[in-house]
Chains A and B, each alone.
Chain A
Amino acid sequence: MDFSYSEEQEMLRKIARDFLATECPRDTIRQMIREQTGHDPKLWQKMAELGWMGLVIPEEFGGTGGSFLDAAALIEETGRASLPGPFFTTLVGTLALMNMGSQPQKQELLPQVAEGSMVLTLAISEPGVGYELDAIRSQATVKNGGYVIKGTKLFVDNADVADMMICLAGIRSGTGKRQVTPFLVDMRSPGVVCTPLQSLGGEKQFQVTLKNVKVPHGRMLAEGMETEREVRRLIKWAATLKCAEMVGGAQQVMDMTTDYVKERVQFDHPIGSLQALQHHCANMLIDLEGMKYITYLAAWRINEGIPYSKEAAMAKSWNSDAYKRICDLAHQCHGAIGFCEDHDLPLYSKRVMPSAFAFGDAPTQRQFVARAIGL
């Protein structure tokens, strides 16, 4: 048994924490969120130089061949810093390419991702459809040796700055069976229209309409694989990384709250000496401890290649609910100051629900768990 990150992972975390504290302080983040894109190419390039985009990419494709747990460790830090922008989707997109890409696809795209010149995003949900593959309506058809995709995608992160989108659409095989399949769609293709959405937490999400978008041959992923199984796997991996991001965020909210209640004085004493608030804080720490270890369990199982679907669903359910409880109590402890637009707390608390929704919300995960325990 070993609950600790490895020395290298701790190093990665420390470097990430220091880097983000200097290069991406929260004033900068608020600025980035207020501005149009929420993406800073200069910062992106520095992150690429630190090797973050190439972290999980094998050396032969220009990366450093890190593990899933390495990715989780890094995402925990970007979550702690509430880093905006397309890093999360680029990482998940990278995993999609690695798991489902052909050799030529990997050779073409992964080195560009690693050097920071290719931003990836994910297009899964649709109007009226979350993550239920059977319900996805976007449709691809074979035409002139390539594909044509028609449909509407929702909650596509940073679509305006992404170069390539991993887009799920149904396609009929020779036998007539429809299978939901990921395609690599160049965002500059004619017919791709991005409309910004009013987001809950300042993230930059879009509706992307595909109006008969031509996708060339060779841009279909998971060819010759059990496609839907691969896609489900990717969604579980993404959910687990989202959990790691929430762990980082929750840790930051915990630290901020602890510091605040030690400093803030009312009735001549720090409010942290009041038992009502002590118990709020204790409840936050209990929830946070749970978030950490259930997330590490899921991430470790993915890392080791042992069955993880149930654990990933458990982690996503628990974290979605626990993170919300933590933020609720943090606001209560902060009083009015935490209610200000310019305070750091809303950077986290406003993102709880988007994170909870991403890759399947808590009730959806529990439906999966219910089946997994034999119900």
Chain B
Amino acid sequence: MDFRFSEQEEKLRLQVRQFCEEEPPESFPCEIEDEGYGFGGWSRAFTTRLGQKGWLSISWPQEYGGMGRTVMERFVVAEELAYHRAPQYGHLFGDAVAAGLLTHGTEAQKKDFLPKLARAEILFSTGLSEPGAGSDLLNTATRAIKSGDDYILNGQKIWPTGAHLAEWSLILARTDPEAPKSRGLSTFLVDVRSPGVTVNPIIDMAGAESFTEIFLEDVRVPRENLLGQENRGLPLVFECLEGDRFWGRCLRHAGSRKDLEELVEYTTQTRYNGRSLLDDQVLRDQLAEIAIELEVSRMINYKAAWLMNQGASLSWESSVVKTFADELGQRIAAIGLQVLGPEIQLQDDPKWAALRKRFTFLYNFNRGLSLAGGTSEIQRNTIAMRGLGLPRS
């Protein structure tokens, strides 16, 4: 047993820290000022800068624009960026698509897309959910019909994050309506600037334009943009989603550590009803509990990263990561609100305005995280069936 990072990993961590100090992430313009995931908003400028550093593609093979380094090194970069609240949203979905490209892409696709993704010349969204296919992706109704060298796509996607900010989307569509539901789906790399594609942002309950709806009307997608085999799209999507489940959630402990530090600072400096918050035993207990759960979350995340670093692919483990992180995020937000009290609504105190705004946002936004990327109920189904071998319901 050894819970140290290697010398090389620590060196990299220092480089990232130094980068964040020299080029503060908050100095980059953000298209979505979303702080909800615990790893910052969506910023093309910052994502591009990460691309220049080579950190977007750190663990990909060098031949496709990567740095050929380890999964653990990728994790260290992401963890350090999360602590500094760097906007990492812009490349999260590209990461998922890159994972699909690396394992299922044709040589031409890899050579074409990966270097561009590595440099953030293009950004991706993932267009999976539909009005009739949320948890039940098998029910996907968007159709793709072969026509000469192309496919013609028709249908509607709903909830893709950032599709209004990205050039491309990974679209799941039905290619064989006769086959059993799971055997007739395929994935396409779709340029959302193509004729027939309409993307409308949707305002979420935290007030951000984070997700969207996509309408596809006779959209022509060239055959070479079919990712993986025809009618084998579903396993591919699940593989990509693993990226979202793990990489989207494994940063909770790092991002929220800073939140906790700020709440502690607030507690030590604030009096309410004539006494210091420090003397409130209930708040002390709740904040200590959060510190403990963040440490538990950190270890659960490290365990999964360690497994992947050895080349194992995750199954139920990423569901544990995700469920724990998402529900912890909601607890932190609720306790943060409790600590900040009714005065959270006063936004004019320059000292605490940012913290108050942040927790107001988190309290709302964190509700979405136990839904996005597969609901907590679906994760628990996975844990029960794959982690414990329980029979299908």
Interface centre among A278, A297, A314 (most CB of B within 10 A): A278
B-contacting 9-mer, from A17-25, A140-148, A195-203, A282-290: A282-290
Interface residues contributed by chain A, number (CB under 8 Å)? 48
- In the complex, whether B385 has a CB less than 8 A from a CB of chain A is yes
Contacts of A375 in B (CB 8 A): 264, 267-268, 278, 284, 287-288
User: CA of A285 to CA of B306 in the docked complex: distance in angstroms?
Assistant: 19
Contact across chains for B391 and A262 when beta carbons are under 8 A apart: yes
Contact status B291-A286, CB under 8 Å: no
Instruction: Number of B interface residues at 8 Å Cβ cutoff, please give it.
Output: 50
Nearest residue in A to B1 (C-beta to C-beta)? A300
Q: Mark A300-329, 1 if CB is under 8 A from B, else 0.
A: 110100000001001001100000000000
Question: Max chain B CB contacts within 10 Å: which of A262, A290, A314, A370?
Answer: A370
User: Which partner residue on chain B sits nearest A254 by CB separation?
Assistant: B388
Partner of B287, one of A6, A279, A303, A370: A370
A31 sits at the interface (CB 8 A): no
A369 to B260, CA, bound (A): 13
In the assembled complex, the Cα of A375 lies from the Cα of B381 at a distance in Å of 39
A residues less than 8 Å from B287 (CB atoms): 370, 373, 375
Whether A278 contacts B285 by the Cβ 8 Å rule is no
**Contact stretch, chosen from B2-10, B197-205, B227-235:** B2-10
A35 contacts chain B at the CB level, 8 A cutoff: no
CA A2 to CA B3, docked complex, whole Å: 6
User: Is B381's CB under 8 angstroms from A278's CB?
Assistant: yes
Asked whether A1 lies within 8 Å of B393 as measured between CB atoms, the reply is no
**How does the 8 Å CB contact mask read for B274-311 relative to A, with 1 for contact and 0 for none?**
00001000001101110111011101101101110100
Interface window among A99-107, A229-237, A267-275:
A267-275
Q: Which residues of A contact B389 (CB under 8 A)?
A: 258, 262
- Give the residues in chain B near A277, CB-CB below 8 Å: 390
Across the interface, do A262 and B296 meet the contact criterion of CB distance under 8 Å? no
Which residues on A sit within 8 Å (CB–CB) of B6?
A: 1
Instruction: Give the chain B neighbours of A363 by CB distance below 8 A.
Output: 285
Q: Is there contact, CB below 8 Å, between B392 and A273?
A: yes
Main secondary structure of the interface of B (DSSP, over half): helix
Complex Cα gap A345–B343 (Å): 48
CA distance A318 to B296 in the complex (A): 8
A273 cross-chain contacts in B, Cβ below 8 A = 390-393
Please classify the interface of chain A as helix (H, G, I), strand (E, B), loop, or mixed, using the class held by over half of its residues: helix
What's the least CB distance linking B238 to chain A, in Å? 18
> Is B387 on the interface with A (CB-CB < 8 A)?
yes
- How many angstroms from the CA of A366 to the CA of B388 in the assembled complex? 32
Residues in chain B near residue A283, CB distance under 8 A: 380
Which of B302, B303, B323, B383: most chain A Cβ within 10 A? B383
In the complex, A290→B327 CA distance in Å?
14
Assuming A1-B302, A279-B377, is B288 touching A296 (CB within 8 A)? no
Instruction: Report whether B391 and A300 are in contact in the complex, using a CB–CB cutoff of 8 Å.
Output: no
Q: Does B324 touch A at the CB level, under 8 Å?
A: yes
A279 with B384, Cβ < 8 A, contacts A261-B390, A318-B296 known: yes
Which of A254, A275, A311, A369 neighbours the largest number of chain B CB atoms within 10 Å of its CB?
A369
B296 engages A367 (CB within 8 Å)? no
Residue of B nearest to A299 (CB): B1
Chain A residues in 8 Å Cβ range of B297: 290
Contact of B299 among A6, A270, A290, A370 (CB under 8 A): A290
Contact of B289 among A272, A278, A281, A366 (CB under 8 A): A366
With an 8 A cutoff between CB atoms, is B250 at the interface? no
Cα separation A370 to B267 with both chains bound (whole Å): 11
- Contact residue among A254, A293, A369 (Cβ-Cβ distance under 8 Å from B300): A293
Contact A3 B292 (CB under 8 A): no
Q: Which of B295, B305, B391 contacts A270 (CB 8 A)?
A: B391
A373 to B259, CA, bound (A): 13
Is B393 a contact of A369 with CB atoms below 8 Å? no
Assembly CA distance A369 to B392 (angstroms):
42
Q: Are B3 and A286 in contact (CB under 8 A)?
A: no
Q: Which residues of A sit under 8 angstroms from B392, Cβ to Cβ?
A: 273
14 examples of A-B residue contacts, CB within 8 angstroms? A1-B6, A3-B306, A279-B380, A282-B323, A282-B387, A290-B296, A290-B300, A303-B1, A314-B291, A318-B292, A363-B285, A369-B288, A375-B264, A375-B284
- Starting from the known contacts A318-B292, A318-B293, 7 additional A-B residue pairs (CB-CB under 8 Å) come to A1-B5, A278-B390, A282-B380, A293-B296, A373-B291, A374-B268, A375-B284
Which 5 interchain pairs have the tightest Cβ spacing? A293-B299, A278-B384, A282-B380, A366-B288, A282-B383
